[in-house]
Amino acid sequence: MTRRTLVAGSLVLALSLAGCAGEAAPDGPASETVEITDAWVKAADEGMTAGFGVLANSGAEATVVSAESDVAGSLELHETVASETGEMLMQEVAGGFVLPEGGELSLEPGGSHLMFMDLAEPLRPGDEVEVTLTFSDESTFTFSAPVKDYSGANENYGGSEEQEHGEHEEGEHAEHEHGGDGQGGSASDDRRGQTTGARSEPR
């Protein structure tokens, strides 16, 4: 009898807690739904350098509003834009890096990147750099990125990567088929299709 009352009591408590959560994102803080892959930082002796990687977000839309690292006086969130004369310029991105719901954002040379300002010490290939991202919900996400040599935007930093990539295209992406469920259309539709498109349709 007593035990039964206890169970009932905790059930009510759980329900009322769930009620309190109200409209808060069911996916939890951005720090728990965002991951980074292929993170790396460009080697540099002093001054500025840049960090890259692919940010993937499995939850609701998340926004990176700031970043910091012990190796730099400050970190800025940069995007690359074409000027009126066609020159590529980088600038701080207004409003931060937006990661769409269930989507990803690639930080890459010639595109958006983390700008390391005022390096505290030389960053050599093989070093590891810790970076902390802060999201608009004030949660934070720390990751470690290796330092790599990279000598210019026109150079393929991966070396043999082009060949390897060709093989991956045939292997890992073979299961990805287009137009299966008639939802084709825009690029964003296509991206979403990858999460739902795996189901097999009965004939």
Binding site for Cu ion (CB under 5 A): 78, 90, 115
Cβ 110 to Cu ion shortest distance, Å: 11
Nearer to Cu ion, 30 or 113 (CB): 113
The CB-of-152 to Cu ion minimum distance in angstroms stands at 15
Instruction: Output the residue with the shortest Cβ distance to Cu ion.
Output: 78
Specify the residue, 96 or 193, whose C-beta has the smaller distance to Cu ion.
96
Alpha-carbon distance of 62 to 135, in angstroms, equals: 7
In this complex, which beta carbon is closest to Cu ion, that of residue 36 or of residue 193? 36
The least CB distance from residue 74 to Cu ion, in Å, is: 12
Q: How far apart are CA 57 and CA 105, in angstroms?
A: 9
44 versus 90: smaller Cβ distance to Cu ion: 90
Nearest-approach distance from CB 92 to Cu ion, in angstroms: 8
**Can you tell me the distance from the alpha carbon of 149 to that of 159, in angstroms, rounded to the nearest whole number?**
11
User: Which positions ≥6 away from 17 have C-beta within 8 Å?
Assistant: none
DSSP letter string, 47-107:
S-EEEEEEEEE-SS-EEEEEEE-TTEEEEEEEEEEE-TTS-EEEEEPTT-EEE-TT-EEEE
Residue 196, classed as helix, strand or coil, is helix
